[in-house]
Amino acid sequence: MSNKPKVSGFMNYLRKERIPTIFCAGCGNGTVINTFFNAMEMAELSLDNISMVSGIGCSSRIPGYIKCDSLHTTHGRPIAFATGVKLGNPDMDVVVFTGDGDAAAIGGNHLIHAARRNLDLTVICVNNSIYGMTGGQISPTSPKGSFASTTPYGALEAPFDLAKLVSGAGATYVSRWTTVHPLPLSNAIKKGLQNKGFSFIEVISQCPTYFGRKNRMRSAVEMMKYMKTHSVVKKKAKKMSEEELEGKIILGDFVNRNWPEFSEMLCEQVNEKSEKGLIDAIKSAYKTDL
């Protein structure tokens, strides 16, 4: 498999009639979509069998532009809906697009519980450290001291380290990259799609419109330069002191382990208990003879 992105082919994956997107100029979501398609091809998966679930926020609009079955749900709850999609039809590849507000604030509980269950979902969390859709409010991943419309005098709260949180909760594949690292990011999404279990890919992304403007980085390019100069791969970070790591974005795989997956265990249990087995239940809503 080649790691070279096939940009021209990707257009066929989009609902072209919905273009242009609502995303601002310079938004990281375009890179996320691009890297996802690249990852999907590398993982040899097809949009025919992928269901996308998203919550509320800018990155949660991504599935609406992709030609696949997509469920744009309520704020913070996409992982709960995705749990139903996966258990309703365990043959499907279920991908969740979410943001930092969606996954870490209002939906934090669903995030850690799905990780604890090790349910086979691939969660792509686009973390831009701000509430973009509502106009630039502080988020649980905004750095201490950063400015937002609801922290006009600077944020006092410490941010969540999402990759660590989800690793601790029991996810079996956890990786963090930024939008200036498209190839390793594609590779991480690919690994996430291939992992049979709960996969969490945190994408540090830029929101020049709100985060940038309020924090003295007025262009996307400036923000991307910041991400490039402030990120350290995990291997290197291990050799650095806490002071040296202050304000740095640590990149790489945090967890990659082989633990029993929930839907598989559940299927086994159901097959053990019933004569028909779970396979019979798939798309059973369309049957009258059960």
Partner 1 sequence: MNITRFFIQGNEACARGAIKAGCKFFAGYPITPSTEVAEDAAIILPKEGGTFIQMEDEISALGAVIGAAWAGVKGMTATSGPGFSLMQEHIGYAAMTETPLVIVDVQRGSPSTAQPTMASQSDMMQARWGSHGDYEIIALVPSSVQECFDFTVEAFNLAEKYRVPVIVLSDEIIGHMREKINIPDKVEIIARKMPEEGPETFLPYKAEPDGVSPMPPFGAGYKIHVTGLTHDERGYPDASNPETHTKLVKRLCNKILNHRGELTRVKELYTEDADIIVVSYGAPSRSAITAVKNAREKGIKAGHIKLEIVWPFPEEIIRSAAQQASDIIVAEMNLGQMVYEVERVVKSDAEVSLLPKIGGQIHRPEEFLEMIYKCQK
Least distance between partner 1 and beta carbon 64 (Å) = 6
Amino acid, res. 121: L
Q: Three-state DSSP class for 253?
A: strand
Residue 242's region, left for phi above 0, alpha for psi from -120 to 50, else beta, is alpha
Tell me if 92 contacts partner 1 by CB under 8 A: yes
Can you tell me which of 14, 24, 71, 232 binds partner 1, judged by CB under 8 A? 71
**Is residue 67 involved in binding partner 1 (CB under 8 A)?**
yes
Binding mask 258-277 for partner 1 (x = CB under 8 A): --------x--xx--xxxxx
Interacting span for partner 1 (CB under 8 A) from 28-36, 60-68, 185-193, 230-238: 60-68
288 is a site residue for partner 1 (CB under 8 A): yes
Distance CA 109, CA 104 (A): 8
| Among the residue ranges 10-18, 125-133, 222-230, 247-255, the one whose residues contact partner 1 (CB under 8 A) | 10-18
Among 3, 12, 74, 258, binds partner 1 (CB under 8 A): 74
Which residues in the chain belong to E strands, given as ranges? 50-54, 69-72, 93-99, 122-127, 130-131, 137-138, 173-178, 199-204, 231-233, 249-256
CB of 37 to partner 1, least distance (A): 15
Q: Give the shortest CB-204-to-partner 1 separation in angstroms.
A: 27
Q: Which is nearer to partner 1, 119 or 224 (CB)?
A: 119
- Measured distance CA(110)–CA(130) in Å, rounded: 20
The Cα 115–Cα 124 span in angstroms is 13
Which member of 29, 31, 38, 70 binds partner 1 (CB under 8 A)? 70
Query: Using alpha carbons only, what angle is made at residue 67 by residues 62 and 70, rounded to the nearest 5 degrees?
Result: 60
| DSSP 8-state secondary structure symbol assigned to residue 151 | B
Cis check for the bond before 159: say yes or no (omega within 30 of 0). Answer: no
Residues 96-125 that bind partner 1 (CB under 8 A): 109-110, 113
Residue 242 near partner 1 by CB under 8 A:
no
- CA-based nearest residue to 58, from 110, 123, 128: 128
Give contact residues for partner 1 (rule: CB under 8 A).
Answer: 15, 17-18, 47-49, 51, 53, 63-64, 67-74, 77, 79-89, 91-92, 109-110, 113, 266, 269-270, 273-288, 290
